[in-house]
Structure formats: structure tokens, C-alpha cells
Amino acid sequence: MSVIEVKGLSKSFGQNDILKDLELTVEKGEVIVILGESGCGKSLFLRMLEQLEKPDRGSIRILGEEITSRGADINRIRRRMGMVFQSFNLYSHMTVLKNLTLAPTKLLKMPEEEAETKAHELLASVGLSGTENRMPDTLSGGQKQRVAIARCLMMEPEILLFDEPTSALDPSMVGEVLATIRMLSHRGYTMLIVTHEMEFAKSVASRILFFSDKGIYEEGTASDIFDSPKKEKTIAFIRKLKTLEHHITSRSYDLMALQGQIMDFCAKYGLDDKESCSIQLCCEELIGEFISAHDGEPDITITLEYSEAQKTIDLTCCSKGDRYDLFDDNDISDHLGVAIIKSRAESYIYSYENGINTVFASIRRSRKQIKR
């Protein structure tokens, strides 16, 4: 059964077309994840479903009713959907309990005692029992977002819309919110989720839409989009998600910052501590070799790429300057740094072109990870 039908949806701002002739049908119980670069219209699309933004052309049917038709009872149709925003949108002057009970008592005419009972149950379901009398400003970001989700559920919506629900959160708080949304996905809700959390997208999506070129550029299952995308821009987007790039322009560069980025990258893709350590050591030694080989400030770019399909970790180091082959068979091959790189890499290649030294190394995987 189709619960959302979008036909010919278009929206422009001045001369800038954001979405043009977008077509989409969403079936009951589907979890749709929407991906794409900033400015491609992901959040705008959700806002048009809620009629917070009016389309220039096209139609939207929600649960069989056309919300874009002249004279449509937008508020009544909107009550059948719930939207969670990235900025929480809680009433700061009201307690958590009042934030949850206000809409159902005013709009659904739910008795206050019934609303409060329901609010207690929903807060417990999102792990926030005991916060009923607290003010929103006393809560963490993750707690605020879970309150916002519980408030949304108070209206018993049939469709849930999430607009980058973790983008305003500290990394330590993201997991608790994603766990709550994942729980809802198992309860059969129809959901559309704009997110930049790729591992989460893989775990919950029944279908993924990649937005580009003013509409749905490519769509498919999580496996289709993440493991074998077909179109050029999707491939570039997914490739970038699995790439870490770090640029060094000072001899006194921040090694700890680089190591932290590598650790985060490895954690994101499930690489173990041994592999993270190997990558950090190789990066540190490559940078050290090129800095010591050239006078003046360095111009070095470290690029780390991980392929989930091939289970490979590739490290590329590009350094501008005179030719310097650290793997050449002479005294420098005895350097500890070179020995470390050789011991941690399955293979390594050096090249020099247009004033740029390039070292490409395929980092050795741990046997435990390869077997996964």
C-alpha cells in the first residue's frame, strides 16, 4: 500500500532550481534513507512533505489525500506525520512533560491524565524516565533529541520524518539517538530519514535515495548504493565517504590531530586497533621522511582509502619537492622509518612526476579482520 506519492515535484529559489520533476512512491513500512551532498534538496524535500515549504509544481499525496491540492486540510493531514528536526525545536519554557502533552491535549482533545500517562510510557521507551519535570535546557543534546522523538510519537503518527537528527549532537551522543530510531524501525513505522550517518543508514534502510542533479539521481538497497553504485556521482560520493585526507604545511604539524582522525576513521569502518596503529605508524614515518629530506616548510597530502568490498586499506602520501625515493637501495633503506613501512605494508610503490613524490602503500590487514 502506497502511503506517499510524489509526482512532478519542483522547487526553485530565484533562478536556482533545487528539485525538478521529482517522482517517488513510498510503501507502508518502508524505511527510506536520503543521502546527498549539501544543498541537493534533501531537507527541502522533507519540508515539502510537511508543507513547511510549498512546491512550485507537482503533487504530494499522503495516505491517499493530496496535501498540495487547493483547500486541503493541511493541519489534519500533517497530524498523521511526525517530523523530528536537527535543532530539537522543544519549548524551552515548558517542562519535558508539558512539551509532550501540549499538542495531544490541544489538537487531539486527549484528556490530560491520559496524555500524561502516555508521555510517561514514551519517555520510558526512549530511556528518559525521571526527566518529566526537567526543563529542556538542563538536558544533553542527545536527551533533547529523544524528547523530541517522544513528543512526535505522542500524536500517534503513521509516517515519521527525520531531518538529520544527529547533526547538532556531539559524537558521544549520536549513538543513543540512532538506537532510538533503530528501535522505531523495528516497529513497522514508515520512515524517511535524511542523515550523514552511513553505518546507521546501512543498518536500517530498506531503500536508499541518492539526491543529485535536482532529484533522485540513483536509488537501491544499501548493498546497491554502498557496495556497487552504478552512476558517476554516487560512486564519487561513496568513495569520498570512505576516504580520509590530511594536508600538512608545517614542519611542526599536529601529529595528535592526524592520529585522532585516523582512529576515528578506523572506528567508523570497523578496523581494529592493530590496523589503526599500523596506519598511524606508516603515516608518521612517511611524513617524517619527507620533512627531513627537504628544506623549508612541507607540502604533504596523506590520503587513506578503505574498500569494504575488497577489504583493503590503501595509503597514499604525496610530497612536493625534489625527487626522494626512500625505498631506493642505498643507506637510507636502513632507516627505521622505511623498515616500519615495509613491515606494515603488503606492497608499496614510489613514483616521481611533476615535482611530486608519491608513495602508495597497501596496508597489511589483520587476519581476524580478513576472515570477517
CATH 3.30.565.10 domain span(s) along the chain: 242-370
**How many CB atoms lie under 10 A from the CB of residue 17?**
15
How far is it, in rounded angstroms, from Cα 220 to Cα 207? 6
Give the model confidence (pLDDT) of 103-149 as tens digits.
Answer: 999 999 999 999 999 999 999 999 999 999 999 999 999 999 999 99
pLDDT in the model for residue 304: 92
Residue 306 pLDDT class (50, 70, 90 cuts):
confident
The secondary structure of residue 360, as a DSSP letter, is E
- How much of the chain is helix, strand and coil, in % rounded to 5? 40, 30, 35
Task: Flag whether the pTM goes above 0.85.
Answer: no
Give residue-wise pLDDT tens across range 160-195.
999 999 888 877 788 899 999 999 998 889 999 999
pLDDT at 367: 60
* Model confidence pLDDT, tens digit, residues 64-81: 999 999 888 988 888 899
Q: What's the topology of domain 2-237?
A: Rossmann fold (3.40.50)
Whether CATH 3.40.50.1000 fits 242-370: no
Contact of 176 with 190, CB cutoff 8 Å: no
Mean pLDDT value across residues 87-113 = 94
Instruction: Write the DSSP symbol of residue 231.
Output: S
Domain with CATH 3.40.50.300 in the chain: 2-237
